[in-house]
C-alpha cells in the first residue's frame, strides 16, 4: 500500500495514477513549465522534420520522441504535456543531441524544465525515476563532483561483466595513471577545492536546489542539509 500523505496531489498520484489529477492541477503544473524564463528560449515552433528524433539516442531504445515533446509544447497541450511529465521525460538522457534542430528548439531543455517542476512538486513519477539514484545524489551534492570511481563495483554494475571487476581491483593504479593530479582520487570524481565546495553548498541552499531533494528523498535531504550547514558554520557563513 502506498504511504498515507497529506499532499492531495501525491496521494492521487501514487494511488491512482496521473489520470486522476484534476484539470486545474495539470494546468498549474504545466503553467509552471511554460512560465519558466527558459521555456520561450527553448521553443520556436516545430517543422515536424524529425531531425531531433534521428539524433536522439533515447529514441532508439525507448518509445520516446523529442519531436513529440516539442509538438505538445508548441500546441500548449496541457493533457499531453502532463502525460509526458509523468512518463516520457524520464526516458531522456539529457545529452542535448536534439540541439541540431533547424528551428532552434531545445527539446532536451524543455524536458529539463519539466523534470524540475516534477521534482519540486514531488510527483510520484519523479520519486520513482530517482529512487535508484540516492547514492549518486548524495555523492554529487556532498563532494561537489560526480559518480566516484570507487562506486564502480561488480555488485553495483553486474551488467558490465568482468570489466568492472578488473577496474575495481586496480582502481588506485588506473587513477594514478591519469595525467591531471586532480583525478588522483578514488573517493571522488576529482579533487574539488575547499572554497569551491563551500560556494556550491551556499548555492544549493540559497537557490532551493537542496529543498527539491526533500520532495523525492527526505532521508538524503536531511543528511545533506546537516552536512552543508555544519560545514558553512565552520566557515562562519550563515544562510
Ligand atoms: S537531450 Fe534528451 S531528447 Fe534531446 S537528444 Fe538527448 S536524449 Fe534525446
Ligand atoms: S528537429 Fe526541431 S523542428 Fe524538427 S521535429 Fe525536432 S523539434 Fe521539430
- Rounded to a whole number of angstroms, the distance between the first and last alpha carbons of the chain is 39
Boundaries of every domain in the chain: 8-121, 133-234
pTM above 0.85, yes or no: no
Secondary structure element (H or E) that encloses residue 54, with its range: helix 51-55
The domain made up of 8-121 has a fold known as Fumarate Reductase Iron-sulfur Protein; Chain B, domain 2 (1.10.1060)
pLDDT tens digit string along 98-130? 999 999 999 999 999 999 999 999 899 998 988
Report how far residue 131's alpha carbon sits from residue 14's, in angstroms, rounded to the nearest whole number. 14
55 CA closest ligand 1 atom index: 5
| Residue 72 Cβ < 6 Å to ligand 2 | no
Mutation test residue for ligand 1: of 71, 95, 104, the one with most atoms within 8 Å of CB: 95
pLDDT tens digit string along 119-170? 999 899 998 988 888 888 999 999 999 888 998 888 877 777 888 888 888 8
- CB contact at 8 A, 41 and 106: yes
The CB-side HSE value for 67 (13 A sphere, CA atoms) comes to: 12
CA dist 236 to 10, 198, 199, 231, 232, Å? 38, 11, 13, 9, 6
Centre a 10 Å sphere on the Cβ of residue 123 and count the other Cβ atoms it contains. Answer: 25
Task: Supply the Cα-derived Rg of the chain in whole angstroms.
Answer: 20
Amino acid at each position: 500500500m502506498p504511504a498515507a500523505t497529506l499532499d492531495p496531489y501525491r496521494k492521487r498520484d501514487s494511488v491512482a495514477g496521473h489520470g486522476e489529477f484534476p484539470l486545474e492541477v495539470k494546468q498549474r503544473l504545466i503553467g509552471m513549465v511554460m512560465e519558466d524564463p527558459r521555456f520561450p528560449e527553448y521553443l520556436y515552433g516545430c517543422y515536424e522534420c524529425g531531425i531531433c528524433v534521428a539524433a536522439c539516442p533515447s529514441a532508439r531504445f525507448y518509445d520516446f520522441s523529442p519531436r513529440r515533446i516539442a509538438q505538445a509544447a508548441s500546441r500548449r497541450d496541457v493533457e499531453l504535456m502532463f502525460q509526458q511529465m509523468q512518463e516520457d521525460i524520464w526516458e531522456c538522457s539529457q545529452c542535448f543531441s536534439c540541439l541540431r534542430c533547424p528551428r532552434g528548439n531545445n527539446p532536451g531543455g524543455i524536458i529539463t524544465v519539466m523534470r524540475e517542476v516534477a521534482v519540486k512538486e514531488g510527483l510520484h513519477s519523479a520519486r520513482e525515476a530517482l529512487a535508484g539514484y540516492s547514492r549518486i545524489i548524495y555523492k554529487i551534492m556532498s563532494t561537489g563532483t560526480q559518480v566516484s570511481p570507487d562506486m564502480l563495483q561488480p555488485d553495483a554494475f553486474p551488467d558490465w561483466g568482468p570489466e568492472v571487476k578488473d577496474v575495481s581491483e586496480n582502481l588506485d593504479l588506473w587513477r594514478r595513471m591519469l595525467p591531471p593530479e586532480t583525478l588522483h582520487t578514488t573517493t571522488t570524481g576529482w579533487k574539488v577545492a575547499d572554497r569551491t565546495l563551500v560556494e556550491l553548498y551556499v548555492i544549493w541552499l540559497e537557490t532551493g536546489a537542496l529543498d527539491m531533494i526533500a520532495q523525492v528523498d527526505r532521508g538524503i535531504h536531511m543528511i545533506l542539509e546537516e552536512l552543508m550547514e555544519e560545514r558553512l558554520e565552520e566557515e562562519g557563513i550563515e544562510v
